[in-house]
């Protein structure tokens, strides 16, 4: 599902309008194609096998499945932080790694904020730009201020990580990813350690940022509620070895709010994903 346009909602707010991809010759090419991908480690562990996945611009794709199903392994391979031992992955229809493409950029958000405790918030966010060394200090400062405002931390630019809550630290981590102006953002269970209220607020903020920045997102979580709320598509994986066993399109319109969590559509999607995960668990038990 791609973001097609925006319009004013009934109360004057921005409503995100979505549409299904066309089925004719005008269908866009995927920005990432995964074909029969497998990963076997040197100790013989088969982490992934036969994975097929197409990722389109504007997608919000979530990977769910039991522990050990290869969600994070697949995410790291998509980031170029690992390689397949079977099959192939193509980024933006190119065989060269995505990190070598100056016109297409990705960012990775890890489970932990991984902030430098001795550096202030603004310094943590600026780090990727400073490492590149291609921008002057004034430009870096402006970009950092822009993304801190985007994640709601403009007033905390001089704070140290120890002075922030867990949710605020994760906002800093997201800002550090956004400061490079990526097209693709890969997120490995970034809200898993947060309380439910904080998590729900960050879910809403992430959807807003996804829309405003025209991002493509691949997101890993163990939470069915989070997967349904955030996603345009949910990919269900089973373990031993890790593989895709189902894909569920979440066709509810954006933006989504508290009412969506109480809707019949939400409960229907939750039911289907629950059944898919039960199937994944049975397949894992059968493979053990």
Q: Is residue 31 part of a domain?
A: no
Q: Is residue 110 part of a domain?
A: yes
Q: Considering its fold, how many domains does the chain have in total?
A: 1
Q: Is residue 121 part of a domain?
A: yes
Cβ(119)–Cβ(130) below 8 Å: no
Q: Is residue 135 part of a domain?
A: yes
Q: Is residue 160 part of a domain?
A: yes
Alpha carbons 89 and 208: distance in angstroms, whole number: 29
Alpha carbons 70 and 63: distance in angstroms, whole number: 9
Alpha carbons 179 and 138: distance in angstroms, whole number: 14
Alpha carbons 120 and 123: distance in angstroms, whole number: 5
Does the predicted model carry a pTM greater than 0.75?
yes
* Domain of 148, in residue numbers: 106-181
Q: Is residue 156 part of a domain?
A: yes
Q: What b/e string do you get for 192-203 counting C-beta neighbours within 10 Å, with b at 16 or more?
A: eebeeebbbebb
Alpha carbons 254 and 30: distance in angstroms, whole number: 22
**HEC profile for the chain?**
CEEEEEEECCCCCEEEEEECCCCCCCCCCCCEEEEEEEEECCCCCEEEEEEEEEECCCCEEEEECCCCCCHHHHHHHHCCCCCCCEEEEEECCECCCHHHCCCCCEEEECCCCCCCCCCCHHHHHHHHHHHHCCCCHHHHHHHHHHHHHHCCCHHHCCCCHHHCCHHHHHHHHHHHHHCCCCCEEEEECCCCCCCHHHHHHHHHHHHHHHHHCCCEEEEECCCHHHHHHHCCEEEEEECCCEEEEEEEECCCCCCCCHHHHCCHHHHHHHHHHHHHHHHHHHHHHHHC
Q: Is residue 73 part of a domain?
A: no
Q: Is residue 111 part of a domain?
A: yes
Sequence-separated contacts (24+) of 137-145 with Cβ below 8 Å: 143/179, 143/181, 144/175, 144/179
Contacts of 285 (CB under 8 A, 6+ apart): none
| Torsion, CA 74, CA 75, CA 77, CA 82, rounded to 10 | -100
One pLDDT digit (tens) per residue for the chain, 288 residues: 232 223 323 333 333 333 333 334 456 778 889 999 999 999 999 999 999 999 998 999 999 998 889 999 999 999 888 999 999 988 765 444 444 455 568 899 999 999 999 999 999 999 999 998 879 999 999 999 999 999 999 999 999 999 999 999 999 999 999 999 998 999 999 999 899 999 999 999 999 999 999 999 999 999 999 999 999 999 999 988 999 999 999 999 988 999 999 999 999 999 999 998 887 777 666 665
Contacts of 271 (CB under 8 A, 6+ apart): none
pLDDT (0 to 100) of residue 132: 87
């Amino acid at each position: 599902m791609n973001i097609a346009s925006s319009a004013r909602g009934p109360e004057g707010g921005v409503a995100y309008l979505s549409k299904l991809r066309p089925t004719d010759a005008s269908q866009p090419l995927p920005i990432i194609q995964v074909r029969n991908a497998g990963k076997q480690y040197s100790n013989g562990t088969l982490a992934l096998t036969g994975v097929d996945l197409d990722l389109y611009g504007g997608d919000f794709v979530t990977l769910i499945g039991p522990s050990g199903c290869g969600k994070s392994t697949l995410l790291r391979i998509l980031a170029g932080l690992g390689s397949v031992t079977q099959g192939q992955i193509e980024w933006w229809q190119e065989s060269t790694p995505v990190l070598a493409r100056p016109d297409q950029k990705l960012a990775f958000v890890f489970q932990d904020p991984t902030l430098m405790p001795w550096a202030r918030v603004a310094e943590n966010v600026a780090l990727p730009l400073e490492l590149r060394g291609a921008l002057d200090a004034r430009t870096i400062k402006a970009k950092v201020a822009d993304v801190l405002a985007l994640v709601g931390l403009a007033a905390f630019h001089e704070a140290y990580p120890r002075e922030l809550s867990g949710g605020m630290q994760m906002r800093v981590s997201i800002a550090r990813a956004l400061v490079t102006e990526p097209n693709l953002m890969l997120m490995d269970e970034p809200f898993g350690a947060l309380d439910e209220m904080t998590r729900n607020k960050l879910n809403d903020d992430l959807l807003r940022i996804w829309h405003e920045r025209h991002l493509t997102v691949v997101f890993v979580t163990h939470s069915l509620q989070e997967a349904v709320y955030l996603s345009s598509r949910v990919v269900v994986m089973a373990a031993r070895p890790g593989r895709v066993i189902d894909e569920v399109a979440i066709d509810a319109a954006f933006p989504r709010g508290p009412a969506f969590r109480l809707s019949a559509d939400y409960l229907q999607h939750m039911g289907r994903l629950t059944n898919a995960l039960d199937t994944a668990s049975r397949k894992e038990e059968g493979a053990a």
